[in-house]
Amino acid sequence: MAKKSLGRKKIPIDWKEVEKYLMASVSGNKIAASLGICDDTLFSRCEEDHKVNFSVYSAKKRQKGVTKLALAAAVTLPSLTAS
């Protein structure tokens, strides 16, 4: 006989989508709302799935976004020292 699982079914979270939002500096509350989940669910699942709290996770992803923007700006902007 198959074993029944207890509790609610886990809501899948697309962490790539979360990362995109974080790189664009969107807040955790707004990310959760756009995913159709409670912000507490997002925060607890971050700890469960990534073994860090959401503040640490979001800081790393936001920094990644800042780095990408800086690299893109360095490539697209003309050098200020060139004459």
Answer for the pair 58, 52: CB distance below 8 angstroms, yes or no.
Answer: no
For residues 63-71, average pLDDT: 78
Does the pLDDT of residue 31 top 60, yes or no?
yes
Considering its fold, how many domains does the chain have in total? Answer: 1
**How far is the C-alpha of 35 from the C-alpha of 22, rounded, in Å?**
13
**How many Cα neighbours within 13 Å face the side chain of 30?**
9
Does the pLDDT of residue 42 top 90, yes or no?
yes
% of the chain with per-residue pLDDT over 70: 81
Structural domain includes residue 36:
yes
Lowest mean pLDDT among 5-9, 63-67, 69-73, 78-82: 78-82
Structural domain includes residue 2:
no
Structural domain includes residue 47:
yes
For residues 55-81, average pLDDT: 77
Does the pLDDT of residue 76 top 80, yes or no?
no
